[in-house]
Chains A and B, each alone.
Chain A
Amino acid sequence: MSREFWRWKEYNWKAPDLDWRSAAGITAGIDVGSVSSQAVILTDGKIFAYSSQRTGSDSPESAQRAMNRALDGTGMSLENIQFVVGTGYGRVNVPFAQKAITEIACHARGANFMYGPTVRTILDMGGQDCKAIRCDEKGKVTSFLMNDKCAAGTGRGMEVFADLLSIPIEEIGDLSFTVEEEPPPVSCTCVVFAKSEALRLLRRGWAKNKVVAAYCAAMAHRVVTLLERTGVEKEFAITGGIGKNRGVVERIEKELKVKAMAPSWDTQIAGALGAALFARALLEKSRSVN
C-alpha cells in the first residue's frame, strides 16, 4: 500500500492504583491478530496493564512487542507472569505462551468481563475478519460464525473505500451522517465491484458523503445478514476496529432494532483479555491440582 490512511494508534495503559508485587496470581493474554496485536496483564483477575501494537510480518516478534509495551513502566517483567495464553491468528506463534486458545472463546470470555454477564451476542468486526458469537452468562460460547474469506464487512474493506475517497478512516462514520437523506446502499457486496460502483456514482454527481453513507449502509446490512445465522439475543455488543465506526454501528443498530452495549474498556483488547482470564483459570486449576 503506497499511502496508509488506516493507522489506528498504538497505545498502552497501566492501572494507576494496582501494586503487582502483592498479587497472588499474575496472568497474561496475547492476541496476535492479522492487523494488530494486544497484550493484557491481570493481577488477581483485575486489569493491570495492556497494549495494542501493529502486527508486523513476524508473529513471535509482534507478540513480544505487545507484551513489552504492556510491561513498560510497570517494573514487572515476563518472568513475573505465571501463566500466558496466546490467541488470535498468530496464537501458535507466541513463544512464551503456555497454551493457545481460539479467538472465538477468548473474545466471548473477554466480552463477558467487559460488558458483564448479561451479554449474549457479540459482533466483532476486525481488520480482516468478521465474527458473530453467542455466549452464556459465564462467557462460554454457545454458537459462533467467522467470516475471514471475504473482505466485505471487514476493516480492510473499509480501508479500501477510505483510500479510494481519500478520507481518513476515523472520519468515515461522522461523514456518513452529514447527508440530508439516507441514500440507497451500494448494491455490490464485493469490495472490488463496490469500488467501481462508487466511482460511477461519483461521476454521476454524488457527493463523497453520500457515497460514504451508501457504503456504510451496505456494510451494515451485510453484517446484519451474517448475524441472522447465529441469531441475535440481547444484550448485544460490538467489538473490533469497525466497532469504532458509528457510520456502520448505528446503521446496524437501526436495522436490528437493538442498541449495542457501551463498553467499559477499549474493545480492541477483548481477545487478549479473554486469553488472560483463561490463563487465570488454568493457573488456579494447576495450583489446586498440586
Chain B
Amino acid sequence: MEGGKILSQTKVLTGLETRQAVEAAFEEALRTAGVSKNNVGRIVVTGVGKQEFPFEHVEVSEVKADARGVIFLFPAARTVIDVGAEEGRGIKCSAEGKVVDFTLNEKCAAGTGSFTEAMARALEVPVEKLGGLSRQSTQAIPMNAQCAVFAESEVVSLLHAKTAKPDIARAVHEAIASRISSMVRKIGVEKEVLLIGGLAKNAGFVDALKTDLGLEVFVPQEPEFVGALGAALIAEGES
C-alpha cells in the first residue's frame, strides 16, 4: 500500500509449509507492485501464521486487522464475521474501525471453512462448486452431526440413502451458518453485517447466514484480502 492506495495483493495457499507460503506471497506482492523490499517502510502482519513472517515486522491480532480493513471498504459496517479455514470470528467494530467486542470459534473444525471443505470432499464436488450446488436444493434436511468428522460419515450415509446432493449441500451450509450466527449473537448483531474470509465466497453459506440472522449480509469483492488490507492500513496509520 502507498498513500491509501493498494499497489498489489497476492494470495498463496498456505499448505503444510507456512513459512514458505508467507515468503512466496510477500515476494510475489513486491514483484507485482514493482517495489523492492528495501523500499517497504513498515510491515504489519496478521493471521494465524503471523509468527512465520521472516522479515522485520509488527504483529496485530486478526480481529484488529479485520475491523480496520472492513471499515475502509464499507464505512457503515458494525458487525464483521470472518470465517477462514481454521477459525471463525465475530467482531463488533466502531465507525473508526476499532474493535469494540469480539468472539471466536477456534480449535474445532465444525465452525470453520475446514468443515465445508471436508463436506465437499465427501460429496465429491470441488469446494468452489458447493455454494452453487446447494442453491439447487428443493428440500431442507436436518444434519445431526456437530463435528466435521461425524458429519462426513453422515454425508456418506445420506448419499447411500440416495439423498439428492443439492439437499445435502444445503444442509451443510445451514449447519455451519447456524453455528456461526449463534457465535455472533454473543456479541450482539448490529447492522450492517459484513462477511469476509474464504467462506464468504460460498454463496450457499451466505444465503444460509442471511436467513439465520434475518439480516442482509454484505460481502466485499475480495473477501480473503480484508485482513491483509487492514494490516496494511494499520501500518500506514502508524508510520
Alpha-carbon separation in the docked complex, A82 to B150 (Å): 37
A188→B17 CA distance, assembly (Å): 17
Is the Cβ of A191 less than 8 Å from the Cβ of B149? yes
Judge whether B109 and A190 touch: CB under 8 Å. Answer: yes
Contacts of A149 in B (CB 8 A): 146-147
Chain A residues with CB under 8 A of B108: 150, 190
Q: Is the CB–CB distance between A192 and B107 below 8 Å?
A: no
Q: What secondary structure prevails in chain B residues at the interface with A?
A: helix
Question: Which residues of chain A have C-beta atoms less than 8 A from B109's C-beta?
Answer: 190-193
> Contact flags (1/0) for A142-162 with B, using CB distance below 8 Å?
000000011100001100100
* A-B contact sample (7 more), CB < 8 A, given A128-B150, A193-B109: A151-B149, A151-B150, A188-B107, A190-B107, A191-B109, A192-B109, A193-B107
Q: Which bracket fits the contact residues of A?
A: 10 to 19
Question: Does A285 belong to the interface (CB within 8 Å)?
Answer: no
Could you say which of B16, B107, B150 has the most chain A C-beta atoms within 10 Å of its C-beta?
B150
Q: Chain B residue with minimal CB distance to A1?
A: B156
Question: Which B residues are CB-close (under 8 A) to A192?
Answer: 109, 114, 118, 148-149
Indicate with 1 or 0, residue by residue over B147-172, a CB within 8 angstroms of chain A CB atoms. Answer: 11110010011001100000000000
Residue of B nearest to A193 (CB): B109
Minimum CB–CB distance from B163 to chain A (whole Å) comes to 13
Binding site for A on B (CB under 8 A): 16-17, 86, 107-109, 114, 118, 146-150, 153, 156-157, 160-161
Residue-wise, chain A 57-69 has the 8 Å CB interface mask toward B (1 for contact) of 1000000000000
Stretch at the interface among A196-204, A227-235, A240-248: A196-204
Give 6 closest A-B pairs by Cβ, nearest first. Answer: A151-B149, A192-B109, A192-B148, A149-B146, A191-B149, A151-B147
Asked whether B16 lies within 8 Å of A157 as measured between CB atoms, the reply is no
CA distance A190 to B110 in the complex (A): 9
Q: Tell me, rounded to whole Å, the shortest Cβ–Cβ distance linking B120 to chain A.
A: 13
Residues of B within 8 A of A157 (CB): 149
- Judging by beta carbons under 8 Å apart, are B153 and A203 in contact? no
Q: How far does the alpha carbon of A196 sit from the alpha carbon of B113 in the complex, in Å?
A: 14
Known: A57-B157, A188-B107. A193 touches B150 (CB 8 A): no
